[in-house]
Amino acid sequence: MALETLQIQEKITQKFGSNALNFETQKGVFSFEVDSNSMHEVIQFLKEDQDLNFHFLTDLCGIHFPDNDENHQFAVVYHLHNWIENVRIKIKTYLTGNPEIDTITDLFLCSNWMERETWDFYGINFKGHPQLKRILNMDEMISHPMRKEFPLEDSGRTDKDDRFFGRTTINS
Amino acid sequence: MTESKINMVAPPEGVTGEGFFATKLNDVVGMARANSLWPLPFATSCCGIEFMATMASHYDLARFGSERVSFSPRQADMLMVMGTISKKMAPILRQVYEQMAEPRWVIAVGACASSGGIFDTYSVLQGIDKVIPVDVYVPGCPPRPEQTVDGVMQLQELVRNESVRRRSSPEYIELLASYNL
């Protein structure tokens, strides 16, 4: 018996009501949005329910939407995989300009490093994470570089001539 | 055995007589150092792959007295930095340089080690000369083995003509001090 997307949707709606919304299939992957406060519960339910059985966390990552309103500045996306039925789902949650969300390290140990990476690059605070510190960037860094307000380029470069990068109008 | 194909390094300028040869100590030390540079490969990306070819039989860096690749900084003379150095790795590179004994030389191989290359970004060190002094820069992305060999030969020229007193000169101490070394 294959696990149908309608079946997942029904179970989630039955349990969480209006906290889970915008069910759709994006590029062949069933996706929906969840209120950030009930994210931990939703993932726990998806993992522990006998029928759903999404026991594998494929990935977890952040997104920054600087043009959105104050309550939709950041997003965290979770990809889960049920290996037995070979079904994948994607869950998205929006966060405010001061992003905070509960950790899921108690459910998936592998999320430890993924959450650290998301904190490193987006400054999203995972409440209850055992060791929320930088993982890929150097410890001295003060910015969260994947946020759009931080420049991508290194300001310390001395051989850079603006004329060769199309940054000046007068090519003198 | 007919003709030997072995090339010997020519002796430095000096006065030859019956049973003696007189020359400057500086020249002898320079010649010895230049023809026994032990490289420490600090390879982080594609320039390191090119270095493997440089070291192997076809290009054979051993011809220049660099037969023995030292993987301990304490027994190396020539630090060859090949590849992108991220800012997180910069302190490690510095530590490796600090562990090398004097006299020590540094070659920055490739665009990344020389200037950051195409990686003009927050995570990449914009040239290793931001953290350690560099003697020779080898351009290329990645440089061909011939270019790396040319870089080593340029360095040999520097080493050959370096004064034995240079490492204790005030200029050199000042140079290290400018890097907080």
Degrees to nearest 5, angle at CA A120 with A116 and A126: 50
ipTM value: 0.74
Q: Which residues pair with B98 in a beta bridge?
A: none
d(CA A57, CA A139): 27
Tens digit of each residue's pLDDT (9 = 90 or more) over B25-73: 999 999 999 999 999 999 999 999 999 999 999 999 998 888 889 899 9
Put simply, the chain B residues between 4 and 63 with a CB less than 8 A from any chain A CB are none
Tell me the per-residue pLDDT of A104-163, one tens digit each, with 9 for 90 and over: 999 999 999 999 999 999 999 999 999 999 999 988 888 899 999 888 888 777 777 777
Domain segments of chain B: what residues? 38-161
- Domain coordinates of chain A in residue numbers? 15-147
- Report yes or no: A60 and A114 within 8 Å, Cβ to Cβ: yes
**Cross-chain Cβ contact B123/A151 below 8 Å:** no
Please give the backbone phi and psi of residue B63, each rounded to the nearest 5 degrees, phi first: -60, -25
Q: Are the beta carbons of A152 and B122 separated by less than 8 Å?
A: yes
Q: Which residues in chain B have their CB less than 8 angstroms from residue A133's CB? A: none
Which of A117, A139, A158 should be substituted to probe chain B, the one whose Cβ sees the most B Cβ atoms within 10 Å?
A158
* pLDDT of B17 over the 60 cut: yes
Asked if A151's CB is within 8 angstroms of B120's CB, the reply is: no
Fold for the domain defined by B38-161: Rossmann fold (3.40.50)
- Chain A residues with CB-CB distance to B122 below 8 A: 137, 141, 143, 145, 150-154
pLDDT tens for each residue of A45-86: 999 988 888 999 999 999 999 999 999 999 999 999 999 989
Residue B47 near residue B86 (C-beta atoms within 8 A): no
CATH class of this structure's domain A15-147 = alpha beta
- State whether A150 and B122 contact (CB < 8 Å): yes
Question: Which of B3-7, B32-36, B177-181 shows the lowest per-residue confidence on average (mean pLDDT)?
Answer: B3-7
| pTM for this model (two decimals) | 0.83
Answer yes or no: do A151 and B126 touch at CB < 8 A.
no
Residues of chain A with a CB closer than 8 angstroms to some CB in chain B: 136-138, 141, 143, 145, 150-154, 156-160
Structure tokens at A84: 């037995």
Q: Is the pLDDT of residue B10 over 90?
A: no
Q: Are the Cβ atoms of A152 and B123 closer than 8 angstroms?
A: no
Closest-CA residue to A139 (of A122, A111, A120): A120
State whether residue B130 sits within 8 Å of chain A by CB: yes
